[in-house]
Amino acid sequence: MVAFNVMVAVALVYVALLFAVAFFAERRAAQGFGGWLYSPVVYTLSLSIYCTAWTFYGAVGYAARSGLEFVTVYLGPTIVMVGWWWVLRRLVRIGRTQRITSIADLISSRFGKSTSLGVIVTLMAIVAGTPYIALQLQSVTLSFSVFAEAGGRPWGPDDLAGGARWVAVGLAIFTVLFGTRNLDSNERHHGIVMAIAVEAVVKLLSLIHI
């Protein structure tokens, strides 16, 4: 049980570190000293958001089982990234011109800013995204349950549900503070980008250690 408590303490310290990094980045940007936040290194590391918690756990196991077949999973995203610079420039230009802040705004703006279409796209995004978010929460809570079981206290359904609830609350607070608090088509979320970049370094070191 001591090992599990230590793991929880380390996780809380890590989350607090990410909050501190995001807060520092936001503050430096607000003070006009955030030139280093535009670094290509930071931007490149932030692309690791593509690799979620489920990828971190599932990809390693799949690579061990399938060998080179594992490469085909990322073949499509790699091809997309080749032309992403051109696509991203167009998206940014359209977003600034039309003051777009979401995928629903983007699609509805191409059809006369239809409110009903925007609502439909929003609902589709929620329906499509909810199972995937649930999968991420499951991967995190199952990780906690493994350590809890190793510490001599197996988790039941209530423990798993409670763990997922706390993780979701933490993610929601982080998103509100450093993401959706102010919606502006020209806004840059330096805090989130920097936190993701730091997390990318942690992931790389973990994978190298594995």
pLDDT score of 182 more than 60: no
pLDDT score of 210 more than 60: no
pTM of the complete model beyond 0.85: no
**Model pLDDT, residue 95:** 74
**Model pLDDT, residue 192:** 80
pLDDT score of 181 more than 70: no
pLDDT in tens, 47-61: 777 776 667 667 777
Of the two residues 179 and 130, the one the predictor is more confident about is 130
| Residue 141 · residue 169 · CB < 8 Å | no
| 73 token code pair | 């999973």
Measured CA to CA, the distance from residue 38 to residue 153 in angstroms comes to 46
Measured CA to CA, the distance from residue 193 to residue 47 in angstroms comes to 9
- DSSP 8-state secondary structure symbol assigned to residue 180: I
Question: For the chain, what percent of residues have pLDDT higher than 90?
Answer: 0
Question: Cα dist. 24→62, 120, 182, 192 in Å?
Answer: 37, 37, 17, 11
pLDDT score of 139 more than 70: yes
How many domains are there within the chain?
Answer: 1
**Model pLDDT, residue 202:** 84
- Residue 201 identity (one-letter amino acid): V
Look up the domain containing 200 and give its range: 2-209
Task: Give the residue ranges of DSSP H helices in the chain.
Answer: 2-30, 40-46, 53-66, 75-82, 84-98, 103-109, 115-150, 157-175, 190-209
Query: Chain-wide mean pLDDT for the chain?
Result: 77
Question: For the chain, what percent of residues have pLDDT higher than 70?
Answer: 87
Q: Per-residue pLDDT averaged across 181-195, rounded?
A: 67
